[in-house]
Structure 1
Amino acid sequence: MTPEDVAEPRQRLHPLSPLLHGAKSLVVIVAALSWSTLSRVGLGFFTLLVAVLLVGALALSVVSWYNTGYHVVGRELRIHEGLLWRRTRAIPLERLQSVEVVRPLLAQLSGLAELRLEVVGGGKTEAPLAYVTVADAVALRERLLTLAGRAPAAAPETLGAAPATGPVPPGQVGGPVPGQPGVPGLPGLAAPPAGRDLHAVSNRDLLVSQLLTPQAFLLPFGVAFVLVQFFTEGSWSFIAVASTLTAMAGVVLQPIRRVLDDWSFRLARDESALRVRHGLLETRAQTVPLDRLQAIGVTWPLLWRMKGWLRMRLSVAGLASGELDDRSHPDRLLPVGDLATAQMIMSEVLPGVAITGTLTPPPARARWVHPLARTALGAGLSARVFAVRSGLLTRELLVVPYARIQSVRVVQGPLQRRLRLATVYADTAGGPGAAARDRDLHEAWALAAELTARARAARVSGPR
Structure 2
Amino acid sequence: MSTDWHRLSARMLAVHPVQEVVRLLPVLIGVLFVGRGGQGQIWSLVGLCLAVGTGLLRWFTTTYQITPEHVRVRRGLFSRKELSVPRDRIRTVDLTSRPLQRVLGLSRVVIGTGHGGHSGRGGHGGGTVTLDALATVDAARLREELLHKRAAHPAEAGALVDVLAELRPPWVRFAPFTLSGIAAIGVVVGSLVNLFNEIAVDRTDFGAVQSWIGQIASAPVWVLVTGLAVLTVVLVSVLSIVAYVLAFWNFRLARGEGTLRVTRGLLTTRQTTIELRRLRGTEISEPLLLRAAGGARCSAITTGLHGEHSSSVLLPPAPRVVADRVAGDVLADPVAASAELIGHGSRAHLRRHTRAALVAAAVTGLFVLLWWLADWPAWTWQVALALFPAGALLAEDRYRNLGHTLIGGKLVVRQGSLVRRRQVLSTEGVIGWVFHRSFFQRRAGLLSLTATTAAGRQHYTGIDIPAAEAVALADAAEPGLLEPFLVRERSVAEAVQDLRG
| TM-score normalised over the length of structure 1 | 0.74
2:347 to 347, 361, 365: 365
2:256 to 270, 283, 294: 270
Q: Is the 8 A contact 1:123 1:318 kept in 2?
A: no
Identify if the C-alpha distance between structure 1 residues 330 and 221 changes in structure 2 by more than 3 Å, giving closer, same or farther.
closer
Identify if the C-alpha distance between structure 1 residues 270 and 218 changes in structure 2 by more than 3 Å, giving closer, same or farther.
closer
Distance in 1 between residues matched to 2:11 and 2:403, nearest whole Å: 54
Match of 1:26 in 2: 21
Distance in 1 between residues matched to 2:80 and 2:155, nearest whole Å: 36
Identify if the C-alpha distance between structure 1 residues 29 and 148 changes in structure 2 by more than 3 Å, giving closer, same or farther.
farther
Q: Deviations over 1:32-52 (max 9, x none)?
A: 5675x6653369654543432
Q: Is the 8 A contact 2:279 2:303 kept in 1?
A: yes
1:405 to 417, 430, 448: 430
2:471 to 426, 445, 450: 445
Identify if the C-alpha distance between structure 1 residues 253 and 119 changes in structure 2 by more than 3 Å, giving closer, same or farther.
farther
Identify if the C-alpha distance between structure 1 residues 19 and 452 changes in structure 2 by more than 3 Å, giving closer, same or farther.
same
User: How is 1:42-121 mapped onto 2 (pairs within 5 angstroms)?
Assistant: 45-121=39-115
The Cα shift of 1:341 comes to: 3.1
Q: Which amino acid aligns with 1:195?
A: V
Match of 2:364 in 1: none
SS at match of 2:82: strand
1:376 aligns with 2:424: no
Distance in 1 between residues matched to 2:317 and 2:294, nearest whole Å: 10
Q: Which amino acid aligns with 2:9?
A: H
Match of 2:311 in 1: 330
Q: Which amino acid aligns with 1:299?
A: S
2:268 to 277, 282, 285: 282
Distance in 1 between residues matched to 2:100 and 2:186, nearest whole Å: 34
Q: Is the 8 A contact 1:264 1:278 kept in 2?
A: yes
Distance in 2 between residues matched to 1:223 and 1:90, nearest whole Å: 39
Q: Is the 8 A contact 1:151 1:272 kept in 2?
A: no
Identify if the C-alpha distance between structure 1 residues 222 and 139 changes in structure 2 by more than 3 Å, giving closer, same or farther.
closer
Q: Is the 8 A contact 2:349 2:399 kept in 1?
A: yes
The Cα shift of 1:448 comes to: 3.0
Show structure 1 runs of 5+ residues with no match.
157-192, 242-247, 457-464
SS at match of 2:160: coil
User: How is 1:310-349 mapped onto 2 (pairs within 5 angstroms)?
Assistant: 310-322=296-308, 329-349=310-330
State, as a whole percentage, how many aligned pairs show the same letter: 27
The Cα shift of 1:343 comes to: 3.9
Distance in 1 between residues matched to 2:480 and 2:99, nearest whole Å: 47
Distance in 2 between residues matched to 1:442 and 1:429, nearest whole Å: 26
Match of 1:420 in 2: 445
Match of 1:200 in 2: 166
Distance in 2 between residues matched to 1:439 and 1:333, nearest whole Å: 29
SS at match of 1:16: helix
Match of 1:435 in 2: 461
User: How is 1:121-200 mapped onto 2 (pairs within 5 angstroms)?
Assistant: 121-122=115-116, 126-147=128-149, 149=151, 153-154=155-156, 194-200=160-166
1:302 aligns with 2:270: no
Give the stretch that moved more between structures: 336-345 or 22-31: 336-345
Identify if the C-alpha distance between structure 1 residues 285 and 417 changes in structure 2 by more than 3 Å, giving closer, same or farther.
same
Q: Is the 8 A contact 1:97 1:289 kept in 2?
A: yes
Q: Which amino acid aligns with 2:4?
A: P
The Cα shift of 1:103 comes to: 0.5
Match of 1:292 in 2: 278
Identify if the C-alpha distance between structure 1 residues 150 and 81 changes in structure 2 by more than 3 Å, giving closer, same or farther.
farther
Distance in 1 between residues matched to 2:165 and 2:83, nearest whole Å: 37
Q: Is the 8 A contact 1:427 1:434 kept in 2?
A: yes
The Cα shift of 1:442 comes to: 2.7
The Cα shift of 1:9 comes to: 1.2
Give the stretch that moved more between structures: 332-341 or 374-383: 332-341
Identify if the C-alpha distance between structure 1 residues 34 and 60 changes in structure 2 by more than 3 Å, giving closer, same or farther.
closer
1:386 aligns with 2:411: yes
Q: Is the 8 A contact 1:150 1:273 kept in 2?
A: no
Q: Deviations over 1:86-143 (max 9, x none)?
A: 2222222222222111101110122211111121324696111111111111111111
| TM-score normalised over the length of structure 2 | 0.69
Q: Which amino acid aligns with 1:208?
A: R
Match of 1:187 in 2: none
Match of 2:392 in 1: none
Q: How many residues align?
A: 396
1:351 to 309, 332, 355: 332
Q: Which amino acid aligns with 2:177?
A: L
Q: Larger helix proportion, structure 1 or 2?
A: 2
Q: Which amino acid aligns with 1:110?
A: L
Distance in 2 between residues matched to 1:54 and 1:223, nearest whole Å: 24
The Cα shift of 1:293 comes to: 1.4
Q: Is the 8 A contact 1:426 1:434 kept in 2?
A: yes
Distance in 1 between residues matched to 2:45 and 2:35, nearest whole Å: 15
The Cα shift of 1:265 comes to: 0.4
Q: Deviations over 1:405-459 (max 9, x none)?
A: 1221011223223323210101121522221101122322333333343889xxx
SS at match of 1:330: helix
The Cα shift of 1:350 comes to: 1.0
Match of 2:174 in 1: 209
1:15 to 10, 26, 35: 10
Distance in 1 between residues matched to 2:157 and 2:448, nearest whole Å: 48
SS at match of 1:147: coil
Larger Rg: 2
Distance in 1 between residues matched to 2:278 and 2:430, nearest whole Å: 12
- Higher relative contact order structure (alpha carbons within 8 Å, sequence separation ≥ 6): 1
Distance in 1 between residues matched to 2:249 and 2:448, nearest whole Å: 39
SS at match of 2:16: helix
Q: Deviations over 1:127-162 (max 9, x none)?
A: 111111111111111111222559853287xxxxxx
The Cα shift of 1:236 comes to: 5.1
